[in-house]
Structure 1
């Protein structure tokens, strides 16, 4: 059965049972079992741009640079995804990766930077890269250039860990959560 599509050709957001199933990992993080999901997923906390309410979503980590404290995410549903739009509105937030919480700032990658990310991701995770591209409606022939072209069209966000000295300003700014990250 083909996936429902938006007028722009992007996959439609899941509804009903599919949405509930997609949100199950959030409960694992809330129960302290996030580490069971491995290092390829993280829990992103974000503040609703309209409601101001605390929101959560579990996303795949496309790239992680432990030394620099960065995590790169792809918006599989395109630039209109709620979490993506919420980060555009309030880029400082918190993530949970494994058992650790980190205060981060969101930086939105250019299409050329997205091309580089996808070209690096595809050889490391060929099946997942093909599935992501297919899910989003992009045809790839398995070549680096076809993944680069897809990466130019996928919205990517790089989350950068905030140095400890800046944590107080985030907590006082009324961002996505009032708990102090560790």
Structure 2
């Protein structure tokens, strides 16, 4: 695995394009994006105001009935830092809505998750790693190493 230059959060027009899916969810058209994305509504760590972001789902755990998302821009992402401060949030994926508790995964869990994801969705995993600044050769060890460096969050529905 080779570490590329880490990508930075988008600004300007790119930021507007990245935030466009939020509008789809506000217009109740979020299900058009399918289950590969989820709308996360969380509380701002400083302002206490409601914030929104649309994230790509890395894993939907049918047994625990939760979702796993990756902090593509690292731990400096506002949504990641907000979940650290206030782990209770609300998600919508497809037509399903749920209140969730956020669990920040450790490096070992992230490594195993990425290795499994890489074996199930090789091309998507390679693309995901590249976007996050890692060049992998497609081997399980490479995916595992990248997963140890990527910060994942598991969102579990509140029962």
* Smaller-chain TM-score bracket: over 0.9
**Aligned counterparts of 2:107 and 2:63: Cα–Cα separation in 1:** 24
TM-score, with structure 1 as normaliser: 0.82
Larger proportion of strand? 2
For residue 54 of structure 1, the aligned residue among 38, 41, 50 is 50
For residue 40 of structure 2, the aligned residue among 41, 44, 48 is 44
- Specify the alignment match of 2:10 in structure 1: 14
- Specify the alignment match of 1:102 in structure 2: 98
- Extract unaligned runs of 5+ from structure 2: none
**Aligned counterparts of 2:46 and 2:123: Cα–Cα separation in 1:** 37
Count of aligned positions? 156
Per-residue displacement from partner, 1:123-161 (whole Å, max 9, x unpaired)?
Answer: 222222111211222121110000000000000000111
Per-residue displacement from partner, 1:16-75 (whole Å, max 9, x unpaired)?
Answer: 110000111111111111111011100000111111111100001111123422101111
Give the CA RMSD over aligned residues. 1.3
**Aligned counterparts of 2:39 and 2:127: Cα–Cα separation in 1:** 22
**Aligned counterparts of 2:133 and 2:6: Cα–Cα separation in 1:** 7
**Aligned counterparts of 1:84 and 1:118: Cα–Cα separation in 2:** 18
For residue 64 of structure 1, the aligned residue among 60, 65, 69 is 60
**Aligned counterparts of 2:64 and 2:130: Cα–Cα separation in 1:** 31
**Runs of 4 or more off by more than 3 Å in structure 1?**
none
- Extract unaligned runs of 5+ from structure 1: 164-182
Shift of 1:76: 0.6
- Specify the alignment match of 1:147 in structure 2: 143
The structure number with the bigger radius of gyration is 1
For residue 88 of structure 1, the aligned residue among 77, 81, 84 is 84
**Aligned counterparts of 1:124 and 1:19: Cα–Cα separation in 2:** 30
- Find out whether 1:74 has 2:70 as its counterpart: yes
**Aligned counterparts of 2:39 and 2:149: Cα–Cα separation in 1:** 24
